Amino acid sequence: MFCLSNPWVKRVNLYLFDFDGTLVDSAPDLVRALNLALAKAGLPAVSLADGTRMVGHGSAKLVERALQATTGDPTITADSPLARIVLAVFIELYGPICTETSRLYPGALETLEALAARGCQLGLVTNKPREFVDYMLRPLGLDERFQVVIAGDDLATKKPAPEMVLHALQLLSVPANQACLVGDSIADLAAAQAAGVTPILVRYGYHGDLDVDASGVRVIDQLTELVEPV
C-alpha cells in the first residue's frame, strides 16, 4: 500500500527528512557554540549568516570551514590538529545549548502527522551526531515521529555519500523508487541521487553554494506542500 503523494513523487511509501535546515532551524545555536569554540582558540567569531552557510555536512566540516574562514588558511582540514581540538570544544559546548533557540520550521509537525495518517513511513537522515539528535528530538516533539533515524556518526560515511539513505531503505525494506529525501543542501541532493531516491529541496534552509532553483528537482517553499491535495 502506497501513501498518497504529489505528482512529482510517484508511489512514495517512505519520506526521509534531513534535520538542520529542513525540519529544524538550528543555525543560531550551532553558530553560537561554534563561536564559543573559536574564541577559546583565540580566533574571531563568524557571523550568523556566514556560519549558517557552513552548516550541512556535519560538525567536523562545520569546524573546518570556520577555521579556514577565520584563519585565512584554506589548507586546514577536519583532520588537522587545530580542527580536532576546536571540534572537541564545539561538541562539549553545543550539547547544553543545542535546543535553546532551535525551532521547528512552520508546518513541520503538521506535515509529519499528515504523512503518517496517510500511511507513509517516515525517516530522519542527518549528518548531525547521534548525541545531539537524540537530545533534541524530544524537546522538539519529534521523538516518536520516525520509523528510522540515521545520524551522522552511525555509519562510516555521511551525506553526500549514499550509504545513510541506503541503510534507511534497507532497515525499512523499502525500494529506492518508493522513497524520497527532503532536504536543503547539496549533500541531501547528492545523497538522494546517488541512492536512487527522489530528491525534494526546500527553498528555505541552509543551502550553502547550492542554487536550489537551478537544481532540476522539485523545490517547495514549505513542508506542507508535501501533503497538499494531488
Which residue, chain included where needed, has cell 555521511? 158
- For residue 93, the model assigns a pLDDT of 96
Residue 32 predicted with pLDDT over 70? yes
Residue 4 predicted with pLDDT over 70? no
DSSP classification of residue 83: H
Which residue, chain included where needed, has cell 543545542? 98
- For residue 194, the model assigns a pLDDT of 98
- Catalytic positions are 18
Torsional class of 228: left (φ above 0), alpha (ψ -120 to 50), beta (otherwise): beta
- For residue 6, the model assigns a pLDDT of 52
Convert the pLDDT of each residue in 79-117 to its tens digit.
Answer: 999 999 999 999 999 999 999 999 999 999 999 999 999
Residue ranges of alpha helices (H) inside the chain are 27-40, 48-54, 59-71, 81-97, 108-117, 130-137, 163-172, 186-195
Question: What are the chain's domains?
Answer: 14-25+104-227 (3.40.50.1000), 27-97 (1.10.150.240)
Q: How confident is the model at residue 1 (pLDDT cuts 50, 70, 90)?
A: very low
Q: What's the chain's average pLDDT?
A: 93
Convert the pLDDT of each residue in 61-71 to its tens digit.
Answer: 999 999 999 99
Q: How confident is the model at residue 76 (pLDDT cuts 50, 70, 90)?
A: very high
Convert the pLDDT of each residue in 155-182 to its tens digit.
Answer: 999 999 999 999 999 999 999 999 999 9
| 102 exposure class (CB count in 10 Å sphere: 0-12, 13-18, 19+) | buried
